[in-house]
Amino acid sequence: MMFTSQMIQIFAIVLGKDSRRVTEALLREGVMQFINISEVDGEKPEIQSDAKPRASLSEISDLRKRIEVFLHTGGIIPSAPSETDLTNRISVNIEKEKNHLDLIASERESLRERQRVIQQEILKLEDIRKQVELYGIGLSDIPLHAKHSFISMQTGTLPVSHARQLEDDLKDFPSLNIALGKEKDIAHYLLISMKRDTEQIGKILLKAGWTQIELPNELQSVKEDVFKELSVKLDKLIDEQKTFETKANDLIKREEKYLRDIWVNLRVNELFDIIQTNFKSSSRTVIFSGWLPLSKKKKLTETIERASENRCYLEWNEVQSKDIIADQVPVQFNNPKILAPFQMLVSNFGVPQYGTIDPTPFVMPVYLLMFGIMFADIGQGFVLSLLGILGVRFLKNNEQKKGLCDLSWLVFWCGLSSILFGALFGSFFGMGLFKPLWFDFHGIISGHSSGNSVIKDVFDILSITLYFGISVIFLGLLFNWINMIRTGKWMELFFDKGGIFGGWIYAGGIYIASYMVGHNYKEFPPGIIMFVLVGLPSLLIFIKEPYHYLKHTSGHSDKNFNVFTILTFFMQWIVELLEIFSGYLSNTLSFMRVAGLGIAHVCLMISFFTLAEMTSGIGSVLILILGNILVIGLEGLTAGIQALRLNYYEFFTKFFHGTGKLYTPISLGNSLN
């Protein structure tokens, strides 16, 4: 668990006639991360083909993604293929399926286009209704009383035969055209529009044969409530739009089975072809190679031998072997499921190099200790744990939201840490309802007794976080030394700023600082001790630059050694020492923010209790409830971010480079983009 899974490389040769069965067997097992042998050799890969010509990989992939988009618009997430789907794999008629999708797309687009038209009409009428609502209208007095209204209203007549044309011409403008009545072949209309469109609408009215008139008295009482007319028309358009939305969704649901079946078959064929793009083929044989966990070696051997009827040659190469193809070994995390949220934190920073330490098991206690100190409260921690459990319950079956599910588990664990430290510090929703098991954090900040003979004031709390930070930094240095030894970087093991000499200086600095504190900042340790603790390793680090110079200039006669070279050595040495001293000092002091945020958390709760005491009754209760909600949201987020920052920049940077390549085998459950 401290290290990633041990990997092994396979080099295999099978007969061309067995390539299809072998490919299916490899896809069914789903444990190989392939190496494209043709790319290694610098040659173009030759892909085995079936008896009948098949569509290209890019065509299959594009069509699958297009179907995926259709399904997603209907809220449908296609399930990964199964072994049954692989067994029933058939070739896909790309042109036929494209044509079918085009028909679906065309029908859906026509529905969407109608929705867009209706939406434009809704926006236009809402614009007018807003103006009517602001200024009002009076039909008995057509000129509006509000001088600053943006609405223009006019009544007039036009031939009934021109009415439809007028409505079509006005579609591009926010307007409301209300029929007031008819006299033979002449229609009376009330037209409401925006003043800014007066010129364009005037041209349309002229074209329609519009004659402006005063509103007849007998029609004023019929259409006096224009606002109601607007609302009715808007409601009708909204209902119509919902109808088209339902039709668009029903279209996808109607085609769901077809789309799912084609998607699954395309995905199987896509994975099949991806595997074969990594094959190198001759007239009779197929060669392939790849990485897999050592624990899968026996089963994969049996699978390939069975699929090829023992007509195969398999060669296994350990990571250290000189016969391996490609240099970078993929990394498979080897952590129990309980560590999934903390593995997410590690992988967000990077993937460890193969053979180096996976920090995930150590991130869990370090992160939770930091979070607990910064956010110590039994009640608030219980709320966090409850939120985490609810998140897991709603997200655990959704593969597309696995990251959010892991985040919910992280919130749950942070809540448990808060409960633990809340019990140690005696805090329940900011109140001291329980006797603290360790010391009273709230009591110290409030100026009362802590109930502990060792932890008495804020400086003692700061000391706890400093000691914790020193421990974390030394753990990071130890991991760095282990990684250097495992990867054979012996020079860096001693002379790197995170190497043994750098750690020696840091330990010496810690001792000197502790000695000075113990002597009231009035005395340094004896000179010989200071030289051994800090001076000697500092001098030894000077060897680093001359060594690198000799290593890189050996065999190059054009490289001249002179006084400037020596000065360069001294300058680089001084810069290195400055980085070591200032870097370790800032790294250590950074952990004081753990105590700082813990103090801020307590101070916020004290502030809300003070405000609550200034009121009474329901007001006091509301202040405490809102205060706790604010603290849980704001302080919880801040504590989580700061704990993550300290892990990344004060712990990981000591040993973790994050340049590894994640193990991503091709399997039926592969997540393809």
- Looking at the structure, tell me whether residues 159 and 177 fall in a common domain: yes
**What is the extent of the structural domain holding 375?**
357-654
- Looking at the structure, tell me whether residues 367 and 396 fall in a common domain: yes
Q: What is the pLDDT of residue 219?
A: 42
Which of helix, strand or coil describes residue 292? strand
pLDDT band at 185 (very low <50, low <70, confident <90, very high): confident
**Domain-embedded: residue 513:** yes
**Domain-embedded: residue 281:** no
- Looking at the structure, tell me whether residues 161 and 244 fall in a common domain: no
Looking from the CA of 186 toward its CB, the CA atoms found within 13 Å total: 9
Q: What is the pLDDT of residues 310-327, one digit of tens each?
A: 999 999 999 888 888 876
Cβ contact 219:142 at 8 Å: no
- Looking at the structure, tell me whether residues 194 and 59 fall in a common domain: no
For the segment 627-656, the average pLDDT, to the nearest whole number, is: 94
- Looking at the structure, tell me whether residues 363 and 498 fall in a common domain: yes
Please state, rounded to an integer, the average pLDDT across all residues of the chain: 85
**Domain-embedded: residue 489:** yes
- Looking at the structure, tell me whether residues 395 and 524 fall in a common domain: yes
- Looking at the structure, tell me whether residues 583 and 457 fall in a common domain: yes
pLDDT band at 54 (very low <50, low <70, confident <90, very high): low
pLDDT band at 221 (very low <50, low <70, confident <90, very high): very low
**Domain-embedded: residue 96:** yes
Distance CA 180, CA 192 (A): 13
Q: What is the pLDDT of residue 553?
A: 73
Which of helix, strand or coil describes residue 7? strand
**Domain-embedded: residue 502:** yes
Q: What is the pLDDT of residues 338-374, one digit of tens each?
A: 999 999 999 999 999 998 999 999 999 999 999 999 9
Q: Any idea how long the chain is? A: 673
- Looking at the structure, tell me whether residues 104 and 162 fall in a common domain: no
- CA of residue 116 relative to chain centroid, distance: 33
Higher-confidence position of 482 and 166: 482
Q: What is the pLDDT of residue 220?
A: 44
Q: What is the pLDDT of residues 557-572, one digit of tens each?
A: 556 777 888 888 899 9
**Domain-embedded: residue 167:** yes
Is the model's pLDDT at 422 over the cut of 50? yes
Least confident of 39-43, 288-292, 481-485, 543-547: 39-43
**Domain-embedded: residue 315:** no
For the segment 90-107, the average pLDDT, to the nearest whole number, is: 87
Q: What is the pLDDT of residues 230-272, one digit of tens each?
A: 777 888 888 888 888 888 888 888 888 888 889 999 999 999 9
**Amino acid, res. 347:** S
Q: Which of 188, 223, 258 is the last residue of a domain?
A: 223
- Looking at the structure, tell me whether residues 483 and 604 fall in a common domain: yes
Q: Which of 161, 194, 223 is the last residue of a domain?
A: 223
DSSP character at residue 145? S
With residue 92 as reference, give the H or E element that holds it: none
Give the dihedral sign, CA 55/56/59/64.
Answer: positive
Distance CA 139, CA 161 (A): 26
- Looking at the structure, tell me whether residues 258 and 398 fall in a common domain: no
**Domain-embedded: residue 444:** yes
Secondary structure (H, E, C), 184-209: CCEEEEEEEEEHHHHHHHHHHHHHHC
Which of helix, strand or coil describes residue 282? coil
What dihedral do alpha carbons 466, 471, 473, 476 form, nearest 10°? Answer: -160
Tokens for 300?
A: 């994969």
Is the model's pLDDT at 579 over the cut of 80? yes
Beta-carbon count within 10 A of 66 CB: 15
E strands in 502-638: none
Number of domains in the chain: 3
Q: Which of 223, 257, 290 is the last residue of a domain?
A: 223
- Looking at the structure, tell me whether residues 59 and 171 fall in a common domain: no
- Looking at the structure, tell me whether residues 558 and 602 fall in a common domain: yes
Q: What is the pLDDT of residues 137-171, one digit of tens each?
A: 444 444 444 444 567 777 888 888 888 888 888 87
CATH label of the domain that carries residue 217: 3.30.70.2750
Is the model's pLDDT at 71 over the cut of 70? yes
